[in-house]
Amino acid sequence: MNFKQPLLLVGSLVVIGGASALVACDSNSVKDPIQKKSGLKAATTKTPAVKKEAPYQAPISEYATKPYTAAGGYEKTVAKYGPRLGELQAYREKAADVASRDRSCDSVIAAEISSMRGGLNDMHFWVDCENGTRFRFSESELNQANVVAVSEADKVISEDLAVDRCEEMIANSVTHPSTVGINRFAGYNYGKFDQTGAASVNLLFSAKNSFGTELKFNARCTFQSDGSGEITIKERTS
């Protein structure tokens, strides 16, 4: 007579006819049948590392920030900025560094104190690159932690704005503004100078004097990268 042996489940034990076998319940211990058969390890996918691009910085010539000395031909500069000569040098070096991080600069060749702008209490600096790009910085700008270089070429006043401002300057310069006659279609010329950030406009106009006589003039307006402008007016005969 055959007796079926009872099958008992006790926890993780399978008991068959008094004999016991341990059955693993952890799914991680179950091997892939294909992997087991072939003996190969399962392939793992790795995400390729993204290589970060190094921040741009153009080289700086060793002569670009050479300290000013009286013996080196900078007697006037040393005399004028003597009390702040150490600060001046630090600002020159920072100006060169900031400019070198702009991609429009290929190599810094000069970082100098400006003799045309600023003064002892508000120093201004200019930086030239080998490709002709120029930057200007004021002392207050260089004191900012997040100062950004903007080339003089990017500061040049646009043609339309230059003409508009020149017309305003003409009106403010004549005796009787209401008599001013400007015809843009008659011709004007606009020129810009990227390295210095300057621009100029020549405009022809007419205006009446105090005797009611209409006279003809030529106006030349010049603008700097800092937004300042000047006008020169000359009478013309034709």
194-211: per-residue pLDDT in tens? 999 999 999 999 999 999
Confidence of residue 51 (pLDDT cuts 50, 70, 90): confident
User: Which residues touch 22 (CB under 8 Å, ≥6 apart)?
Assistant: 12, 13
Which of helix, strand or coil describes residue 136? strand
Task: Please report which helix (H) or strand (E) contains residue 165, including its range.
Answer: helix 159-173
Q: Give residue for tokens 């003064």.
A: 119
Q: Is residue 222's pLDDT more than 60? A: yes
Q: Is residue 26's pLDDT more than 50? A: no
User: Which residues touch 198 (CB under 8 Å, ≥6 apart)?
Assistant: 156, 192, 222, 223, 224, 225
User: Which residue type does 31 have?
Assistant: K
Specify the pLDDT at position 187: 76
d(CA 70, CA 8): 104
Half-sphere exposure of 111 (CA within 13 A, CB side): 27
- pLDDT above 90 coverage of the chain, percent: 72
Residues 128, 130, 131, 132: what is their CA dihedral angle, to the nearest 10 degrees? 30
Q: Take residue 67 and report the two structure tokens written for it.
A: 């300290």
The model's pLDDT over 40-50, given as tens digits with 9 standing for 90+, comes to 565 566 777 77
d(CA 70, CA 84): 15
Which of helix, strand or coil describes residue 112? strand
CB contact at 8 A, 99 and 149 = yes
Q: Determine which of 85-89, 155-159, 185-189, 203-207 has the lowest per-residue pLDDT on average.
A: 185-189
The model's pLDDT over 88-143, given as tens digits with 9 standing for 90+, comes to 999 999 999 999 999 999 999 999 999 989 999 999 999 999 999 999 999 999 99
d(CA 143, CA 7): 85
DSSP 144: S
